[in-house]
Structure 1
């Protein structure tokens, strides 16, 4: 006996990826509903490469009663309207937006990192999925934290335009074409030209000069991994379609050699260590697209601090940063709390 699961926002980038991953991982559902805004009602959506399709329903009048769980990929504003309705009807919400991440009554989950925290879902019937850049980083940090206790993290991100949705991907494509044919560059989604450029600005600026994306990495890492860890971040948008990259510097309480860190990461859940000290002996965002893993490369000691390490971390942000992590949460929820059959 399988689950009854809803994918909210099924016509968007993340929603379609959720459907694909449900098919790839053979998620045990008996019934699947796809819902989105009224303009998508009646659209036929493919469920990955399974050969199956589903008709999109109108989220405005969808009846949540009797459904086990719902993966939301509809943004904070729409989630604020529909998630409480689903939760009140007994449908457990797994939310991809930022709305509930720092709510003390809502667990913020990366299954490889803090699976036990999911037990707190009963307070609101809602589980939060972290920011894409945070999710891949904590997967890499967790085994090192367990081994040597991380005190401080300094991270610089190189985030793809897909993190800004379809509009971000379209802008990179259009600007690249405009530059090659000599047309005037059209800047709409981003604050500056993104083609052949990098922009050190993601989300809104805060009073202290940081951006909200940087703030998310700080507070979410503390909530997921350890509130004692000091984190500082610089988040940069780069002209890559899919795949976020991060240069991470960590300081640990205990000594941890690069060799020991490599050994630990090689065995860590969700991590693929690709670290050869030779040309091409590392993973780039282009190579991680479509993969489930968080790839770690360039592990080396930092001689400027007592116990320091540097590493390079790459992941498909539409997968581990959003859709995959949400499906993994659904799998974890099923195993721990909603056992069928």
Structure 2
């Protein structure tokens, strides 16, 4: 078996650490694992690997670089990574809407990987979870429109998110005050209906990601999407409510059968037995859990469903490693 030299850019963050974990879990054939981060993080040791400073010379000799850094860092180093001869699988949003950069969920559009010219984009975590859940339905009939509401865990904001949630809960239990630093408002015992900055006609940047990225991944450029993204006091795993309309009417039984057979999905849809997707069930696994599939009483061609997925694994790190597996396959 061939072996590959793999780098992780942004290796000290939550997604970068998860990438390292998943490379090992999936026995990726890596000859060298090179962890790269900021100058101040250089010298740290993670799972036996010393972190090196991200710079042009430290990309030399790598075959694949998994990106777990922010937009500015990804954009700054993309040229150096390509010049070193490596393929950059980037988890930031810097390249997701570039027409010459494939945006890939391996269970949905693996063929798009072949179109890369040095960069492959990893979708937004909520986009990946949602598209994985509905992809099988679009194979039965094209999806014309979709209304989505996401309920996103605090760890989606990084490791500081859970720290703030727990800090607020402890402070409130002790009768003390706590000034939010990560979120705009108190997140303990609260929900915040804004993730990202304000953009197009009142939508936020997080909401626009799902709307724009979903069309590319599903190859449905005419699909109309509206989205509301909400931060909730859950530690890990995002939940998504989906209302969709297909070109032809789909029965609930057909939809359930399609989801049950879909790669990357697990059907949990037994309401009488209290069995349905929940964040606690989807945490620390790679399958997207799908359930509550039912007819839309407002539209004869509509269906509703509920799904949950681990935003650090399938929503980010696992999807990136799966793309790397496609590259070497």
Q: Shared topology, TM-score over 0.5?
A: yes
Distance in structure 2 (CA, Å) of the matches to 1:69 and 1:207:
35
Would you say 1:149 and 2:135 are equivalent positions? no
User: Contact 1:38–1:60 (CA<8 Å) still a contact in 2?
Assistant: no
Identify the residue that residue 338 of structure 1 maps to in structure 2. none
Cα distance 1:190–1:258, how it changes in 2: closer, same or farther (>3 A)? same
Distance in structure 1 (CA, Å) of the matches to 2:49 and 2:299:
55
TM-score (norm 2): 0.97
- In the alignment, which of 75, 78, 92 is matched to residue 73 of structure 2? 78
Would you say 1:206 and 2:199 are equivalent positions? yes
Higher deviation after alignment, 193-202 or 183-192: 183-192
Segments of 4+ moved more than 2 angstroms: 60-63
Identify the residue that residue 90 of structure 1 maps to in structure 2. 85
Identify the residue that residue 287 of structure 1 maps to in structure 2. 281
Return the offset for 1:149.
Answer: 1.2
Distance in structure 1 (CA, Å) of the matches to 2:42 and 2:14:
17
- In the alignment, which of 146, 168, 174 is matched to residue 175 of structure 1? 168
Provide the aligned C-alpha RMSD in A.
Answer: 1.1
Identify the residue that residue 28 of structure 2 maps to in structure 1. 27
TM-score (norm 1): 0.94
For structure 2, the residue ranges without an aligned partner over 5 or more in a row are none
Spell out, residue by residue over 1:102-123, the C-alpha distance to the aligned partner (whole angstroms, 9 max, x if none): 111111110011111111212x
Return the offset for 1:60.
Answer: 2.9
Residue 303 of structure 2: SS of its match in structure 1?
Answer: strand
For structure 1, the residue ranges without an aligned partner over 5 or more in a row are 47-52, 336-341
Would you say 1:323 and 2:317 are equivalent positions? yes
Residue 218 of structure 1: SS of its match in structure 2?
Answer: helix
Would you say 1:221 and 2:203 are equivalent positions? no
Counting matched residue pairs gives 327
Residue 202 of structure 2: SS of its match in structure 1?
Answer: coil
Residue 63 of structure 1: SS of its match in structure 2?
Answer: helix
Spell out, residue by residue over 1:52-98, the C-alpha distance to the aligned partner (whole angstroms, 9 max, x if none): x2111111354322211000101111111112211121111000001
What are the equivalent positions in structure 2 for 1:302-313 lying under 5 Å apart?
302-313=296-307
